Copies of this chain bind each other. A is one copy, B any other.
Amino acid sequence: MADRPMSVGVLMFVAHREMERRVMAALAAAGYDDITLAQARVAERIAPGGSRLTELAEAAQVSKQTAGYLVDQLARAGYVERVPDPTDGRARLVRLAARGRELLPIADATTAAVEREWARHLGAPAMAQLRRHLTRLREITDPYR
C-alpha cells in the first residue's frame, strides 16, 4: 500500500475506532444493543454529577441540537435522565440513570482490557508515555476543557 507516512491524526483515528468498536461490541454482547455509537459518544462524556447539554455538545463535538437529539434517545431508552439544574433555571443536567450506570462497569472493563493489550504490544513504559502525551495534548485540543 505504498505506506505514505501517516499523519498523527490519522493514526489516532485508527486506534480510536478500534477502541470504540471493542467497547460497542462488549456492550452489545452484554445485551445493551439498543445504544448507538453516536449515543455512546455523548453518554461517555457525562460527568459524574451530571452535565449540561451544551457541555456535552462541546465535549462530544456535535452541535447542541444533535446532542439534544441523542440525549432524548438515551433518555427514552432509560440510559440517562434530565434533572433541573439547581444553579440555573434555564439549564438541566443530564445524568446517568439506572440503566446507564449498568453500562459503566462493562465499558470500563473493556477499555481497560484493550489498554492492557496495547500495553502488552508497546510495552508498559511506552503506553504510559502515550497516555501522558495525549493527556497533555488535550490541553490545546479539547474545546471543552
Contacts and interface: CB of A to CB of B under 8 A. Distances in A.
A47 B6 CA distance: 11
Interface residues of A, number: 52
B14 A9 contact: no
B11 A20 contact: no
A7 B58 CA distance: 18
B17 A15 contact: no
Interface stretch (A27-35, A65-73, A84-92, A113-121): A113-121
Q: Is the interface of A mostly helix, strand, loop or mixed?
A: helix
A19 interface: yes
A76 interface: no
A83 interface: no
A102 interface: no
Contact of A15 (B2, B9, B44): B9
A28 B58 CA distance: 22
13 contacts: A7-B115, A9-B20, A9-B23, A10-B16, A11-B138, A12-B13, A13-B16, A14-B142, A15-B137, A16-B16, A17-B141, A121-B139, A129-B133
